[in-house]
């Protein structure tokens, strides 16, 4: 009997999500509960090794055969290097202790090696904590690669609170960007017939609305703020998993940020750049861009080139090249992008330059 198989969309989600205080010791319990193998590889960055990476490594060493690796940036070279360490060590599973870059490297290496990974975020600056896609720099530009979500997320509020406040504000930028990302997705659905999930879009918008409503609470930078932001970021990751791509959380404002990463001598944080990008893209979409700017101001996130520490000229350039970064991702920038005049006008009207 022949059967017509339509589109099969496999949605994977974390099996455990822990959010609380002093969770380093919980790593062993989670690994035991999930029945992960004996050999664990701990990934951290030069800074996050000291913040929590070494502690996680030490705790695991009591019961597991552990190796640690310092990762320097989310590049394909680093993913390849980690893969060869996994091969030599025979790692059964990975744990990423760090910001978005470390988690993305673990995510892709884990997918390629066919072993699970645990996400142990040290910042609430990005919504890749629980997502299934990795943003990796390859051949000079950021690509969004399908990978796997973490098998578990262990978010220790005390560790995340060690990060300077600007990281939390960046997390707000990454969530408010969902407003324009979803608009771009709807546009691509209407104009290009792209797959669109109303459920994923609604979930993603929920995080954006949450930060608009709770900006003043988040501004306090206390444990309640961290919990709110982490929950919102995790739910953006789930929205991306449901969508099967980063579409619900990444549109033209992200292309603008990726362009800045390529041309700015000293880029700002991912979430800070996409927050500023959201102001401009909201203006282009005819949305209430003032409300986006107001929310970012209330949480103390950058709203202009000066606060990003980036030359206005580079902001204009990034706006004019953003559409070339992922031509397959249709956005408000269209296939031809913005002219220099249009870019300058949009940036000036919104007070970004």
Ligand X SMILES: NC(=O)C1=CN([C@@H]2O[C@H](COP(=O)(O)OP(=O)(O)OC[C@H]3O[C@@H](n4cnc5c(N)ncnc54)[C@H](OP(=O)(O)O)[C@@H]3O)[C@@H](O)[C@H]2O)C=CC1
Q: Which stretch binds Zn ion (CB under 5 A): 3-11, 56-64, 170-178, 334-342?
A: 170-178
The span from the CA of 130 to the CA of 118, in Å, is 9
Cβ atoms of residues 156 and 164 within 8 Å: no
- Enter the DSSP assignment of 307: H
Geometric angle at alpha carbon 232, from 123 and 187, rounded to 5°: 115
Which one among 86, 168, 172, 249 touches ligand 13P, defined by CB under 6 A? Answer: 249
Q: What is the footprint of Zn ion within residues 173-202 (CB under 5 A)?
A: 174
* CA pair distance 245, 329, nearest whole angstrom: 11
Q: How far is the CB of 122 from ligand X (least distance, A)?
A: 4
331 lies in the binding site for ligand 13P (CB under 6 A): no
Cα 46 to Cα 53, 73, 95, distances in angstroms: 9, 10, 15
Q: Is 126 annotated as a binding residue?
A: no
What x/- string results for residues 141 through 160 when contact with ligand X is judged by CB under 6 A? -x------------------
**Binding-site member from 119, 135, 197, 207 for ligand 13P (CB under 6 A):** 135
Minimum Å gap between C-beta 300 and ligand X is: 16
Binding ligand X (rule: CB under 6 A), the pick from 60, 102, 315, 318 is: 102
SS3 144: strand
We find the least distance from the C-beta atom of residue 255 to ligand 13P, in angstroms, to be 7
| H or E element in which residue 289 lies | helix 289-299
Distance, in Å, from the CA atom of 264 to the CA atom of 321, rounded to the nearest integer, reads 13
Interface of this chain with ligand X, residues 252 to 271, rule: CB under 6 A? 269-271
Binds ligand X (CB under 6 A): choice among 91, 101, 177, 304: 101
* 225 is annotated as contributing to ligand binding: no
| Separation CA 133–CA 83 (nearest Å) | 17
Q: Could you give the dihedral angle defined by the CA atoms of residues 208, 178, 18 and 71, in that order, rounded to the nearest 10 degrees?
A: -140
For residue 42, the cross-strand partners are 68, 95
In angstroms, the CA 294 to CA 289 distance is 9
Exactly one of 26, 57, 92, 174 binds ligand X (CB under 6 A); that residue is 174
Residues that bind ligand X (CB under 6 A): 45-48, 51, 74, 98-102, 104, 122-123, 125-128, 131, 133-135, 142, 162-163, 170, 174, 240, 246, 269-271
Residues that bind ligand 13P (CB under 6 A): 127, 135, 142, 144, 174, 246, 249-250, 254
Binding-site members for substrate are 127, 174, 258
Binding residues are: 100-104, 122-125, 127, 131, 174, 254, 258, 270
């Amino acid at each position: 009997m022949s059967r017509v198989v339509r589109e099969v969309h496999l949605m994977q989600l974390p099996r455990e999500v822990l959010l609380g205080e002093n969770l380093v010791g919980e790593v062993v319990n989670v690994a035991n509960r999930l029945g992960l193998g004996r050999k664990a590889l701990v990934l951290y960055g030069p800074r996050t090794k000291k913040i929590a990476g070494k502690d996680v490594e030490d705790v695991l060493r009591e019961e597991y055969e552990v190796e640690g690796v310092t990762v320097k940036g989310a590049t394909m070279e680093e993913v390849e290097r980690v893969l060869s360490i996994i091969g030599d060590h025979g790692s059964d599973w990975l744990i990423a202790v760090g910001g978005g870059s470390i988690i993305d490297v673990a995510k892709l290496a884990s997918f390629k090696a066919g072993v699970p990974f645990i996400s142990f975020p040290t910042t609430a600056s990005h919504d890749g904590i629980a997502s299934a896609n990795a943003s990796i720099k390859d051949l000079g530009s950021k690509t969004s690669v399908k990978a796997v979500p973490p098998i578990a997320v262990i978010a220790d509020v005390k560790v995340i609170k060690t990060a300077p406040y600007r990281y939390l504000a960046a997390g707000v930028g990454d969530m408010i960007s969902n407003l324009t990302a979803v608009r771009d997705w709807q546009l691509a659905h209407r104009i290009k017939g792209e797959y669109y999930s109303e459920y994923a879009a609604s979930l993603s918008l929920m995080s954006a609305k949450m930060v608009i409503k709770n900006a003043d609470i988040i501004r306090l930078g206390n444990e309640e703020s961290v919990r709110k932001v982490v929950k919102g970021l995790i739910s953006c990751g789930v929205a991306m998993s449901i969508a099967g791509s980063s579409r619900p959380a990444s549109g033209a404002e992200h292309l603008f940020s990726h362009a800045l990463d390529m041309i700015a001598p000293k880029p700002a944080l991912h979430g800070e750049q996409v927050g500023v990008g959201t102001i401009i893209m909201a203006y282009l979409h005819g949305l209430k861009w003032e409300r986006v700017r107001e929310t970012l101001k209330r949480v103390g996130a950058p709203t202009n080139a000066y606060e990003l520490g980036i030359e206005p000229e580079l902001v204009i350039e990034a706006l004019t090249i953003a559409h070339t970064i992922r031509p397959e991702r249709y956005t408000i920038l269209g296939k031809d992008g913005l002219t220099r005049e249009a870019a300058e006008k949009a940036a000036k009207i919104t007070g970004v330059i």
